[in-house]
Structure 1
Amino acid sequence: MKRLIKLLFVYIAFVGCTTNKEVDLIVYNARVYTVDSAFSIQEAFAVKNGIFIDIGSSKHILDSYIAKEKIDAEGKAVFPGFYDAHGHSFLLAEYFQQVDLVGCKSVQDLVSRLQQYRKKYPEKKWIVGGGWDQSLWPDKKMPHRDTLDKYFPDVPVFLNRTDYHAAVVNSEALKIAQIDESTTVEGGRIEKDSTGRITGILVDNAMALVSQYIPSAKEDNMLSILRQAQDSLFSVGLTSMVDAGLSEEELDLLKKYYQSDSLKIRNYAMIFAEPHNIQKYIRDDIYESDRLTIRAIKMMSDGALGSKGACMLDNYENDTIRGFLLHPKEEFEKALTILSKSNYQVAIHAIGDSSNRMLLDLYGKMDVKDKRWRIEHAQVVHPSDFVKFRTYGVLPSIQPTHATSDMKWLYERIGKDRAKSAYAYKELLKWYGKVAIGSDFPVEHFNPLYGFHAAVARQDAAGNPQEGFQMENALTREEALRGMTIWAAYSCFQEKKRGSIEKGKDADFVMLEEDLMTAPTERLRDIKVLRTVVAGETVYTKR
């Protein structure tokens, strides 16, 4: 009896001295890049209710907490969940259902892919695809509607160029849209040959004359393909994204899907707006839930360099055109004046040095330095205009893979002198102090490690050029990692709740098979994701 009482006292004493807290998840034996202000590296962390509650050594975390789930990282590198600061979820979802024309080596290759698609899906009322780039073809000539008509005379065809700022269509599509040689469009171009005949190439606003007739996916199917897109993003370590410009219908669908927990990726969605009708888009206040936020207005100021729609201060190389604005400057100024008095953030697409200058000066005139207004892309900036990013507090949102995709033909578009201040990411960082990094998927691939590699090595997938493209504007690995985590979160007013592994923040993280910060440069694009976690829940594991 005495021995039983003694054992009881020992048990009570043991239980009374145990202070271990119950948590949902512990990750230990890891190399945790917290991406905090000191860029500190830890070994372990504990997660409860989707939040990081403690970070430290493996011993400290394991001694302090009891977890429902433990993950031994076996020395692998763990990072905050990657954040794509500029992408397009609906376009990516639709892209997966269309003809993939990325990497086409010629017009013949393009036609062959279309024929295969048509054979597989004969019931489709339209043939829609994207990703072609004539600069990769031997003759570098734009495709012509006559070629499409030869093989597809009775079904409408609409094929986006890789930048989504130009498309080629066939005669059937032109017929449906009632486009002829007399049709005009503001902020766009309907290409014609030397005889005045339409070639089938539509640039910027001209594309919508045809695309509006393409049947949309049904609502139930849209959720399915959005989930497919989401799972693809999870597989490469993305836990958050900026949806850079959505219609009211698309935003309503997202609200519905997130309210029913049908989507899990964190989405900072921007309302796509036309400047001449801005009041329509800000009649409601900002929207914010745990995983969906709507508090930014996205507009377009110009087109792209590849299709010569970007608005330049001087003519394109060996040409008589300098691109164009998609809307008059006066409309932008009126819209920005209204927006400066609202709660909405502004993000405007600008590629050419003329459009960038116009927007920088308008932002400065509005005195919105503390509003984190953004310029998306900021691809070509006149050397005298970089200082304005600091002076006016304009946040540069960049996509490093654009530099390594466009470098092959950049000099042909704007010459070597102007190219020196193109894709100048280090210069933008120098003046603003941060850069938000994204991919612009599906224009580029959605894998953030491709962007990381392009940012630090300034090389394409083949490792070209060997010396790196304009290396004076390469970012360090720490800068690139910050750009796709904490600085991306900052660009969306979310740096206090995500973007780094710190106490009190959302438990979003990714585990890689190799260390992004130390792996050889040539390995960066090939590093695989082992696990992606959102709010403490594993949403992807490598099979």
Structure 2
Amino acid sequence: MKRTLTFIFSLVSSAAFATPTHIYNIQGYTLNDENELSRFSDIVFDGGKVIALGDEEAAQGHPQAHTIDGRRRVMMPGIIDAHGHILGLGKALLAVDVRGIASAKAAAKKVRDYAQQNADTGWILGGGWNQVLWPDKAFPTSAMLDEYVKDRPVWISRIDGHAGWANSKALQVAGITKDTLDPPGGKIMRHKNGAPTGILIDNAMNMLVEKIPQDTEQELGRKLDAASEHLLALGITGTHDAGINYATYEYYLKRSRELTLSLRIYAMIAATDPKLADMLKAGPISDQYDYLSIRSVKVYGDGALGSRGAAMLAPYSDDHGNVGLLLTSEKQLKPLFDLIIGSGFQLNIHEIGDRGNRLALDQFEDTFSRIKGQHLRHRIEHAQVINVSDIPRFKALKIIPSMQPTHATSDMNMAQQRIGKERLEGAYAWQTFEQQGSIVALGSDFPVELANPFFGIHAAVTRQNRQDQPENGWIKKEAVTVEQAFKGFTYNGAYAAHQEHAIGKLTPGKWADFILVDQDIFTINPQNIWKTKVLETWVGGVKRYDSAQQ
């Protein structure tokens, strides 16, 4: 209750009773009203919104303002991550994390350690494994987990969220045996005798996940608060939550009513939720302080490249006969698009493979021809591997490519092996989209990737990992400029959420969402951008994070 009252007091006081705040002596960057990069040394905000921006003279009209010396630190608008999973991040922060572990055995041992430290936990949950990084590059098995945890069900999701690793107890609880059929859009990995190996891919995961007890409201709160604290410390003032269920929808509404959200959430309803129609009928939702907006739906098109689930026009180069998976069948697309777009909601569809992207573009075109709705700023989430001939269709149909730069630097070690060099011509094609005039919204896809936005800006500009590899950048022609990447993580994210009137820039009339950082990303060697540290994060004129107090 104390947290709630404190938050309400800070919001109300900044909105109605406080004097303006003037921060001076800063090295500020923002896009101006013409979307050009501009600099400023002074900012004045009141009631949570910017009222003056520019040099010392611009701030002179507010002599009564409370002043703060910026000490020549660099200021920029708060980062907007256009694609993440908030409660998934909270879960990862509170559960066992096997990201970066060097082998399946080492990952299983970390699960064992977590289980021993959490003896009262029913299910052991976690994520982050990536067999591509292991010496044998092979999928793990339930036997590897059984060696350390037999008495409780274990479920560890792959880093991309499109596959999971279960122990035998979890398979037993889910009723998955050698006689269980693969569901549409999913695959049960099997031993030669037909018995499940413990790896479930895409829709096959649902058979197990539905057996995991639902979060209580208290657990939802723990996850949301952990994720929010983590994101604010990274300079993220707003994020697009890519796929929420009804329980999360209701919980976000509750937190919005209580005024206890600490960062801005643009939530996409999961198209798979049984109560989708009810949520659509309730109509778009927003609050007066722009902390919560729900006016979009996340549709699940295909799988992921790493688990060979991305839907391809031709078979995988390293798995002949496999063309990936459609999580939503082709025949389901038309009624789903008609329902969502016809309800006045933005439709954001996950598509990674070239076939998946083409099917989505085809369906957008068909739906627009019959029921219109093009103005809703629909998006393709990821838009990773696209047939070159389909890229111009994004601009023609006004579809926003919502892309995550660190996916390229994470995938570069296996992408050519998966699909061959020729198909890479339309892969992770950020600059091609920029040149044709598409509005490219950038994000991280946390917790699949680390949420740090400066890792994303670095990857977008250098096409390198944080070890400066490859030397000249991977498919360097698709690198973007620092300014383009900055725009992708600020204004473009706001535009992709219909929020450019309120956030994304530090211009008068918009919310005072900004960060102070320790280096100037526009002047340093781009290879060092990822080292940027956030010093302070402010949302609506209220300081939400201060590195000096950590």
Please say whether Structure 1 and Structure 2 have the same fold, judged by a TM-score greater than 0.5: yes
Aligned residues of 2:246 and 2:273 also touching (Cα < 8 A): no
Shift of 1:67: 4.8
Of 92, 97, 101, which aligns to 2:98? Answer: 101
Counterpart position of 1:174: 171
Aligned residues of 2:401 and 2:438 also touching (Cα < 8 A): no
Q: SS of 2:457's equivalent?
A: helix
Aligned residues of 1:156 and 1:173 also touching (Cα < 8 A): yes
Aligned residues of 2:281 and 2:343 also touching (Cα < 8 A): no
Q: 1:278 to 1:89 in 2, by over 3 A?
A: closer
Q: SS of 1:538's equivalent?
A: strand
Shift of 1:43: 1.3
Q: 1:224 to 1:278 in 2, by over 3 A?
A: closer
The reply to whether residue 434 of structure 1 matches residue 439 of structure 2 is yes
Q: Deviations over 1:477-497 (max 9, x none)?
A: 110000000010000001111
Shift of 1:116: 1.3
Aligned residues of 1:78 and 1:509 also touching (Cα < 8 A): yes
Aligned residues of 1:393 and 1:432 also touching (Cα < 8 A): no
Shift of 1:280: 4.3
Q: SS of 1:295's equivalent?
A: strand
Aligned residues of 2:115 and 2:149 also touching (Cα < 8 A): no
Counterpart position of 2:539: 534
Measure, in 2, the Cα distance between the counterparts of 1:114 and 1:216.
Answer: 21
Shift of 1:517: 1.1
The reply to whether residue 29 of structure 1 matches residue 30 of structure 2 is no
1:349-364 to 2 correspondence within 5 Å?
349-364=350-365
Shift of 1:103: 0.2
Q: Deviations over 1:454-482 (max 9, x none)?
A: 10011112121121111111111110000
**Which deviates the most, 334-343 or 304-313?**
334-343
Unaligned runs of 5+ in 2: 1-17
Counterpart position of 2:326: 325
Q: SS of 2:247's equivalent?
A: helix
Counterpart position of 1:161: 158
Q: 1:207 to 1:254 in 2, by over 3 A?
A: same
Counterpart position of 1:521: 526
1:257-276 to 2 correspondence within 5 Å?
257-274=255-272
Measure, in 1, the Cα distance between the counterparts of 2:410 and 2:277.
Answer: 37
Of 231, 237, 257, which aligns to 1:233? Answer: 231
The reply to whether residue 57 of structure 1 matches residue 58 of structure 2 is no
Tell me which amino acid in the other structure corresponds to 1:413: R
Counterpart position of 2:451: 446
Of 71, 75, 83, which aligns to 1:78? Answer: 75
Of 112, 125, 130, which aligns to 2:127? Answer: 130
Tell me which amino acid in the other structure corresponds to 1:122: A
Tell me which amino acid in the other structure corresponds to 2:499: Q
Counterpart position of 1:502: 507
Measure, in 2, the Cα distance between the counterparts of 1:170 and 1:177.
Answer: 11
1:274-285 to 2 correspondence within 5 Å?
274=272, 279-285=277-283
Aligned residues of 1:177 and 1:210 also touching (Cα < 8 A): yes
**Which deviates the most, 135-144 or 24-33?**
24-33
Q: How much is the aligned-residue C-alpha RMSD, in angstroms?
A: 1.6
Counterpart position of 1:9: none
Aligned residues of 1:275 and 1:335 also touching (Cα < 8 A): no
Q: Deviations over 1:497-535 (max 9, x none)?
A: 110010111111111111111122232111111111111
Aligned residues of 1:84 and 1:241 also touching (Cα < 8 A): yes
Tell me which amino acid in the other structure corresponds to 1:371: L
Q: 1:415 to 1:263 in 2, by over 3 A?
A: same
Q: SS of 2:204's equivalent?
A: coil
Q: SS of 1:454's equivalent?
A: helix
TM-score (norm 1): 0.93
Measure, in 2, the Cα distance between the counterparts of 1:211 and 1:244.
Answer: 18
Counterpart position of 1:400: 405
Shift of 1:257: 1.2
Q: Deviations over 1:241-289 (max 9, x none)?
A: 1011100110100111121122220111110013998644412111110
Of 199, 202, 211, which aligns to 1:201? Answer: 199
Measure, in 2, the Cα distance between the counterparts of 1:238 and 1:101.
Answer: 24
Tell me which amino acid in the other structure corresponds to 1:363: F
Counterpart position of 1:341: 342
Larger-gyration structure (1/2): 1
Measure, in 2, the Cα distance between the counterparts of 1:379 and 1:481.
Answer: 20
Tell me which amino acid in the other structure corresponds to 1:140: K
Measure, in 2, the Cα distance between the counterparts of 1:533 and 1:500.
Answer: 13
Aligned residues of 2:77 and 2:505 also touching (Cα < 8 A): yes
**Which deviates the most, 275-284 or 29-38?**
275-284
Measure, in 1, the Cα distance between the counterparts of 2:244 and 2:276.
Answer: 14
Aligned residues of 1:168 and 1:202 also touching (Cα < 8 A): yes
Counterpart position of 1:14: none
Counterpart position of 1:120: 117
Shift of 1:405: 0.5
**Which deviates the most, 507-516 or 148-157?**
148-157
Tell me which amino acid in the other structure corresponds to 1:353: D
Aligned residues of 1:23 and 1:47 also touching (Cα < 8 A): no
Aligned residues of 1:23 and 1:46 also touching (Cα < 8 A): no
Aligned residues of 1:26 and 1:46 also touching (Cα < 8 A): yes
Shift of 1:83: 0.3
Counterpart position of 1:7: none
Aligned residues of 2:351 and 2:384 also touching (Cα < 8 A): yes
Shift of 1:127: 1.4
Q: SS of 2:342's equivalent?
A: coil
Q: 1:540 to 1:67 in 2, by over 3 A?
A: farther
Shift of 1:79: 0.5
Counterpart position of 1:306: 306
Q: SS of 1:174's equivalent?
A: helix
Aligned residues of 2:444 and 2:453 also touching (Cα < 8 A): yes
